Amino acid sequence: MPWTKLSAMVSPAAACAPRRRMRRLAHSSALVLLSALLLSGAPPEKHLSVYSVVTNYSLTLAQRDGRDYVGLLEVLEPLGKVSARTEGSHWRLHYNNVEGEFQNGKPRARIQGRDYDLGGKFFMENGRGAVPLTSLSSILPRFLGGPVSLHEDSGRLFIGSVAIHFTASLASDRLVFNFTAPVNPTIATEPGALRMTFSREPLVAPASPTLTFGSRTIPAASYREANGSAVVTVNSTIPVIASFSNGGRTIIVSPNSAAAQNASAAPSAAPGATAQGPPTPGLTSSPGQPGASATPATGPYRRYFAIVDASHGGEDHGETLSATLVEKDVTVALARSLRQELESRGLTTLVLRDSDANLSPDQRAIFANADHAAIYIALHAASNGHGVRIYTALLPFSEDDRGPFRSWTTAQHAWLPLSQSTAAAVAAEMQRRQLPVRTLIAPLRPLNNVTAAAIAVEVAPQGSDVSQLTAPDYQQLITSAVATAIAGSRDQLGSAP
């Protein structure tokens, strides 16, 4: 039946119809406005990204008692055989052969006969259990039988050794990112910045969250993590574009050619420049004739003159120097001090490990080689002996080089004379400062994998007091001697960029 006819038939109601319609419209508008207000004021949904060897996935976090909570069943389901059953207020979870028992409203759990503090109450809803996000770092290793690393603030969980590391180096006016595994970030540009968001990739922070390049066109890049993603932002003074190569392992950020032509202040791009990825472990580019190896690293790609490597890190503590002091902490302090000393002498320096990250010897060598630094310095600390030991590589029994490729285990071979002369210079400077010093060769990785002058400095106390290793004066005495010697060998090592 047409509306007009109905309206005509019900004449008393028709008289009030316009007023009712107006009221209904006003109510609807108010409801829409209120919803919009509520939605705009609501906090964004929080996520947990889980990275494992098996799969990568994302889960939504819930808020309880002002904390972030996550469903434990949902975390474990993609990783293996898992089942749960409810018995009254108890919740029993089976993951492969591991059993855990939780109780609704209680902050403790029992896994394989051991009690764990969850750091907050356990909640049970519809047969599914939720635990505080913070508790994953303690309870998951028990279920999974391996280490996990939780970045709680950013909602990122790394199960096992899955992390992807990266380096960034400026080649001419192009910024080259090299990753240890293929990546496929979401890329967005805005005036003055290019943003790469890694949601699916277990990308981890570089040694320093802010990387500066001293370039007018691309002065800096920064790394941050938020809500289950890692974001690398490249700051630029001109429009830039990103391109992929090397099977997704390399991203090159370069000036947008049309815009670059208009930017007269910006330096022109070097047409011959090409991105160069890190060598594959096992094979690395031949450094060429040994006679030409005195300055093998000179070229347009060198960003840092020196790479300083704080040895050990993460679960690798190095030597336990005392009840409260481990080697990995001393090496970081020494590395920071050495960077300061080198940079004060005008030598650009990158500290390879500036946090408690765990890098393998291969990764350290790959990063050092990709940066084409003039010298690589590994720092160690020891409780035995006195003074300082300077090491160069003891090369293993050589494997056959294949064509233009050199064996990874003896990649240092062509640089060994340069490494030894640098070690001798450092030792001479130590002696000049009356520090007890020895120069030795050592079967110490990654010295044999580095394609640059490479030395390791092992610092021991002068006497029997190990606490001297943490004394700023002692650290500076040593790092200043190392920096002075390296600055003195600058011409031999190759001029800085």
Partner 1 sequence: MIPRQLVITVAVLLVAALGMSIYAWHMRRSAVATTVSASDTRPLAPPVAGPTEQVVLFVAHDEDGTLRSEAARIPMPSGRQQRAEELVRSLLSIYLDKSSPHVLGPGSDVRSVYLVDPGVAVIDLNAAFADTHRSGILVEELTVTSLIHTISANTPGILKVQILVDGKERDTLAGHADLTTYYDVSAVNQLATQLQSGQ
**Residues within the interface to partner 1 (CB under 8 A):** 312, 316, 318-320, 327, 380, 382-385, 389, 391, 394-398, 409, 438-445, 448, 456, 458
Closest CB 282 distance from partner 1, rounded Å: 12
Q: Which two tokens stand for residue 292?
A: 């030409």
Closer Cβ to partner 1, 226 or 394, answer by number? 394
Q: Are 228 and 155 in contact (CB under 8 A)?
A: yes
Nearer to partner 1, 393 or 485 (CB): 393
Handedness of CA 285, 300, 197, 212 (dihedral sign): positive
Cβ of residue 349: shortest distance to partner 1, in angstroms?
23
Shortest distance, position 388 Cβ to partner 1, whole Å: 11
List C-alpha distances in Å: 358 to 194, 289, 337, 353, 442: 29, 35, 20, 8, 22
Please name which of 229, 163, 235 lies closest in space to residue 198, comparing C-alpha atoms.
229
At closest approach, how far in Å is the CB of 314 from partner 1?
Answer: 13
Nearer of residues 297 and 388 to partner 1, judged by Cβ: 388
Minimum distance of partner 1 from residue 137's CB (angstroms): 24
Q: How many CA atoms lie within 13 A of 69 on its CB side?
A: 20
CB of 428 to partner 1, least distance (A): 13
Closest CB to partner 1 among 459 and 487?
459
Task: Annotate 176-225 with DSSP letters as a single string.
Answer: EEEESS----EEEEETTEEEEEESSS-B---SSSEEE---SSS-EEEEEE
Alpha-carbon distance of 481 to 425, in angstroms, equals 10
Of 347 and 418, CB closest to partner 1 = 418
Vertex 60: Cα angle to 56 and 61 (nearest 5): 120
Q: What backbone phi and psi angles, to 5 degrees, belong to 222?
A: -135, 155
Return the number of the residue (53 or 440) whose C-beta is nearest partner 1.
440
Q: How many of the other CB atoms lie within 10 Å of CB of 141? A: 14
Residue among 140 and 418 whose Cβ is closer to partner 1: 418
* Least Å from the CB of residue 396 to partner 1: 4
Closest CB to partner 1 among residues 312, 364: 312
Cβ atoms 467, 322 nearer than 8 A? yes
Smallest gap from Cβ 122 to partner 1, in A, equals: 38
In Å, how far are 69, 129, 490 from 483, measured between CA atoms? Answer: 49, 56, 10
Query: For residues 252 and 169, what is the distance between their CA atoms, to the nearest angstrom?
Result: 10
